[in-house]
Amino acid sequence: MDRTERVELATICLVYKNNKVLLQNRVKEDWKGYALPGGHIEPGESVVESVIREVKEETGLDIQNPVLCGIKQFPIEGGRYLIFLFKTTEFSGELVSSPEGEMVWVDRDQLSVLDTVEDFEELLQVMERDDLCEFQYVPQENQWKLYLH
């Protein structure tokens, strides 16, 4: 039995300081709204190198010691899409925006009033709770079912 499948790999990072989180107001139609910075892992690149590079490209910040805190996954044609979830409070540099969207520090108590990307609240749960490590979408009866493990 062949257990090989097509896999796309990406990373995102929850960068936070005190009571604020760093968000990108994404302009792309495929995932529009406030989201965490991140992107695809390049061929041959380590997962940690990828999250450091992606945060730098999108925010101008150099993150240090990103901690792996979960995985998000969903099916794609012929396989799955895996997103490695990181968080850190350690960074240096000056915040800048990228063509993908404006970067802003947001107070946690303001998150509920922002137009965040779909499933943002559940994603934060996986990234911040010690009893969760996986965020998974499973197709069931013509819709997507979300599971947090």
What domains lie within the chain, and their CATH numbers?
Answer: 6-148 (3.90.79.10)
Are 31 and 104 in contact by the 8 Å Cβ rule? The answer is: no
Query: pLDDT 10s digit of each residue in the chain, 149 long?
Result: 888 999 999 999 999 999 999 999 998 877 789 999 999 999 999 999 999 999 999 999 999 999 999 999 999 999 999 999 999 999 999 999 988 899 999 999 999 999 999 899 999 999 999 999 999 999 998 899 999 99
Q: What token pair was written down for 72?
A: 């998000």
Q: How many CB atoms lie within 10 A of CB 114?
A: 14
Task: Quote the pTM value.
Answer: 0.95
What would the pLDDT profile of 21-50 be if each residue is shown by its tens digit?
999 999 887 778 999 999 999 999 999 999
Q: Dihedral through CA 61, CA 64, CA 66, CA 67, nearest 10?
A: -150
